Amino acid sequence: MTISVGDKLPEVTLVKATAEGPQQVSSSEYFAGKKVALFSVPGAFTPTCSARHLPGYVEKASELKAKGVDEIAATAVNDAFVMGAWNQAAGSEDITMLADGNGDFAEAIGLTMDGSGFGLGKRGQRWSAIVEDGVVKELNVEAPGDFSVSSAEHMLGQL
């Protein structure tokens, strides 16, 4: 079942990429008591994700925060080392990288995709959400191959 607006995020363990190394964090602890602009990409360092998706959130970070967002977080079915390297290469300190290495989060919210045709295996879909205190307030799931509703620009219009 796919998560919907009004649903609480399921309890899973994510791995936060930090300067000190990977840090496990429960979803309930991470999202508690704050408004998070969360976006998911099929893979760090993949073309659209690196050329458009992450850069949009980097560019619009101050605008998102000015509209009440406490944190901006990216998630992907990648390990924390890859997510950390991606943030160092193309991100910013304004973006928290939440690795979903085994795809448990993507599976729990019902937003997986099969990227086997591209050698990617099971991944998370491209989507974004505004999450307040662990509850989904807005959810924007892209059609396969599209990039529009999960963008930072679209999210700004929802705040």
Domains in the chain with CATH codes: 7-157 (3.40.30.10)
pTM over cut 0.85: yes
pLDDT one digit per residue (tens) for the chain, 159 residues: 799 999 999 999 999 999 899 999 999 999 999 999 999 999 888 767 677 789 999 999 999 999 999 999 999 999 999 999 999 998 889 999 999 999 999 999 999 978 777 767 688 999 999 999 999 999 999 998 899 999 999 999 999
Rounded to whole angstroms, what are the CA distances from 53 to 20, 50, 83?
A: 26, 6, 14
- 46: nearest Cα among 131, 147, 139: 147
The confidence score (pLDDT) of residue 48 equals 74
Q: Rounded to an integer, what distance in angstroms lies between the CA atom of residue 82 and that of residue 143?
A: 25
CB 94 within 8 A of CB 58: yes
The confidence score (pLDDT) of residue 119 equals 67
The confidence score (pLDDT) of residue 117 equals 76
Give yes or no: 33 in active site: no
Q: Rounded to an integer, what distance in angstroms lies between the CA atom of residue 2 and that of residue 88?
A: 32
- Reported residue count of the chain is 159
Q: Of 36, 49, 69, 129, which is the active-site residue?
A: 49
Residue written as token pair 């729990």:
108
- 136: nearest Cα among 97, 114, 105, 103: 105
